[in-house]
């Protein structure tokens, strides 16, 4: 028979890895790794002052269509702004009797339909305006809500002259 030997662990209990640490299963502790700082934000190009300023804008509101109504505009950008990203979310109440028809004015005409009791989201670039309508009749009742988030680049209205 062999004598029983006690196992000796060279790693003290204070420096052992926790169960959440990948080193825990090996029973060895690893030295702490210093945190890597995040990259600093990239500043605007000082050599191109006409690039403009980027801003984020949000808006929201209620929607109500009763009977036959023409399409109405809920958002429009200024001609001096470039729409980098536009996110439009439309909610239609379950009590609505018809669908919202949403039209996006851009180089490509795009649209979406929002059924009663549903929420639909659209994300795109280059949108100039958003209009809401319905194909309903005199008994149509549609209510809902909208939220719009836009990231715009405002063009410099007075770009510097080229001095060449």
How much is the pLDDT for 9? Answer: 46
Check if the beta carbon of residue 127 is closer than 8 Å to that of residue 106. Answer: yes
How much is the pLDDT for 20? Answer: 54
Q: Residue 3: which pLDDT band, with cuts at 50, 70 and 90?
A: very low
* Least reliable range by pLDDT among 12-21, 84-93, 139-148: 12-21
CA distance 73 to 102: 10
Q: Indicate whether 136 pLDDT > 80.
A: yes
Average pLDDT over residues 83-110: 94
Q: Residue 101: which pLDDT band, with cuts at 50, 70 and 90?
A: very high
pLDDT in tens, 22-51: 554 555 554 555 555 555 555 444 444 456
Whether this prediction's pTM lies above 0.85 is answered by: no
How much is the pLDDT for 47? Answer: 43
CA distance 66 to 97: 10
Mean pLDDT of the chain: 78
Q: Indicate whether 145 pLDDT > 80.
A: yes
Between residues 21 and 66, which one has the greater pLDDT? 66
How much is the pLDDT for 112? Answer: 96
Check if the beta carbon of residue 114 is closer than 8 Å to that of residue 100. Answer: yes
How much is the pLDDT for 157? Answer: 66
> In the chain, what are the domains?
59-154 (2.60.120.1380)
């Amino acid at each position: 028979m062999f004598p029983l030997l006690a196992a000796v662990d060279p790693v003290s209990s204070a420096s052992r890895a926790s169960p959440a640490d990948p080193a825990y299963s090996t029973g060895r502790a690893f030295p702490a790794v210093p945190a890597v700082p995040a990259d600093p934000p990239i500043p605007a190009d000082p050599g191109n002052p006409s690039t403009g300023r980027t801003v984020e804008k949000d808006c929201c509101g209620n929607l109500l269509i009763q009977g036959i109504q023409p399409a109405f505009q809920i958002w429009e950008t200024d001609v001096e702004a470039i729409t980098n990203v536009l996110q439009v979310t439309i909610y239609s109440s379950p009590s609505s009797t018809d669908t919202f028809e949403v039209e996006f004015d851009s180089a490509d005409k795009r649209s979406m339909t929002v059924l009663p009791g549903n929420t639909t989201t659209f994300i795109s670039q280059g949108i100039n305006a958003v209009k809401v309508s319905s194909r309903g009749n005199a008994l149509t009742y549609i209510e809902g809500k909208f939220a719009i988030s836009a990231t715009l680049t405002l063009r410099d209205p007075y770009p510097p002259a080229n001095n060449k």
